[in-house]
Each structure stands twice: as C-alpha cells, then as structure tokens.
Amino acid sequence: MELKINGISKQYGSIKALDNFSATLTDGVYGLLGPNGSGKTTLIRIITDSINSDSGEILFNGKDIKELGVSFRSFLGYMPQHHGIYPSFTATQYLSYIGSLKALGKNEIHQQVLYVLKAVNLLDVANRRIGALSGGMKQRLMLAQALIGNPKLIILDEPTAGLDPKERIRIRNLISGFALNRIVIIATHVVSDVEYIAKEIMLIQKGRLIYHDTPDRLCKSLENKVFEIETDEENLDKILSQYEVCNIHKSTDSIIVRILLNENQNEQRDMCGYDYKRIRASVEDVYLSVFDEERETEFVK
C-alpha cells in the first residue's frame, strides 16, 4: 500500500497551517511529531477528507482520495483527538454502530466488537454506558472504533492522551502489531509514543515538513552532541544556564544532567571542567533540538 501526499497547503486567513507538505508512506508506523499548532491536526483532517486543502493532492494506491470517495473511507480508521461519542450508548452499542456505518455484516460486527474490546482492555466494561467511563477508558474506546472494519490506513491523533504508563505501553504494542500490512500514522507531541515503534518519523514545524527519516538516522544527526554530566546541587544552576538540558535525574550521591550542545558549542571547549560522558542521542533529544523555541533554529529537509 502507498499513501502519497503531494504539495498539500492550507491557509486560514494570514496563517499557513500547511505549507507545501509532501511525503510518501508505505506499510508501517509513522510518527508525526510537532508542537501544538504545527499543523498536525490540519494534515490529518485533510488526509481523512474532513476538510479540503487549498492546493495539492493525496493519492491512496495511486488514486486520488477525492475520486475514491466512500470507498476510501472504507479503508480508513481514524481516532480524532477530541471525543465525539454518545454518552448514553454502551461501549458495545457504540462499536456496533461504527461497524454498521462501515457496512459490516451482523456476524462480522459481533466478532470485531469483541476482538477490539479485548485488544484495548475494555471487555469488563463492554455494557457500561460511555458517560460513566473514565477519560482513559474513553480514549481506549476511541482507539477501538478506529480498528473496526480492518482498515488499511489508520490515523491516530494523540492516541495515548489520558492513559497511565502501563496502558500507554499496552496501546503502543497494540498499534505496532496492527501495523503489519497497514499504514499507521500517529500524530503526537509525546515522543515516547512513537520512538520505539515508528518505521519513520516526520517532524513538522509551522506547517512545513522539516525532517522525514528513520529514528536511527535522526538520532545520528546529533552524534557527539548529547552528554550526561554528573554534578551536585551547587553547580546545577550553572549547568542549566550554560546548556540545553534534556533531563535531570537525582541519584543517591549526585545529580545526573542530560544536556545537548548547540551548534556553537563543542566537547573540547565547552565540556571542560565537568565530569561527563558522551551518550547516544534519542528521538526526544532530536525533538528538543529542532523545536527549541528560544533559539528558533531553522532546519531544512
């Protein structure tokens, strides 16, 4: 399968929500990362044919989604960021309703509803009204409805919002398993949601695609730029003012500070005098490097 996004632009008044966005996606998980207001949700709404772009086209297996119409939506599973569910329905009733909208047969709906409820760990509340569910349960229910109908293109907008750490891991593993022979797009600003399951990551800033690569190659772009400094509370403020800090961890005897050197700093000159070690960059380090609002560094593809 192939989803081709060709030169998509969208403007609201004087604001460019998307600026000539182009990418080609095949089977696997893709992370769409960017800060709030970067254009992630606008892109998703255009891909799902909820709104029109000002220019450009989107092709699914070589055919324009506008021409595919209803048949394209039968291939699509979509989890929006904000819930649009009926509080008086039970979880089973709601998922059955989604199955009927996708023109599934009665027996198929029954089988799929049971399967997705089990997959998202909601079987024990299958007959509880949605209005009585917790926020995390509603989030899992929205993921379940996106999986109804065995879609070939699954788009998830902030799929783990409101979930506890254990459920976040469960959902990530579930998404990874569903990615076989499917295209899965996860739009999020929580890097850990996609760091270990994404085939490729797209970084979007002010509507522009500024990076699109594998997690490994993205991390290599910060080679010899990420360090851990072992220090104490007395020197912590100095380190915070001198470097971009990615993380602070307090151990029994010291404080471990994960820092990122900027383009004007180097190890030999700027790490002198500290007890430090060089470490491998993570996707979160890349994210912080790209979207550092204070430096407003301009990156290109």
Write the CATH number for 110. 3.40.50.300
> Could you tell me if residue 295 is inside a domain?
no
Q: Are residues 200 and 276 in the same domain?
A: no
Q: How confident is the model at residue 83 (pLDDT cuts 50, 70, 90)?
A: confident
For residue 74, give its domain range: 3-219
Q: Are residues 177 and 47 in the same domain?
A: yes
Q: Are residues 246 and 107 in the same domain?
A: no
Q: What crossing angle do the helices spanning 106-119 and 91-101 adopt, rounded to 10°?
A: 130
The residues near 176 (Cβ < 8 Å, ≥ 6 apart) are 29, 197
How many domains, the chain?
Answer: 2
Q: What is the CA radius of gyration of the chain?
A: 22
38: which 2 tokens? Answer: 């970067």
Per the confidence metrics, is the pTM higher than 0.85?
Answer: yes
For the chain, the average pLDDT equals 90
104 neighbors 81 (Cβ within 8 angstroms)? no
Burial (CB count within 10 angstroms: exposed 0-12, middle 13-18, buried 19+), residue 70:
exposed
The 10s digit of each residue's pLDDT in 135-188 is: 888 988 999 999 999 899 999 998 887 788 888 888 888 888 888 889 999 998
Q: Are residues 47 and 119 in the same domain?
A: yes
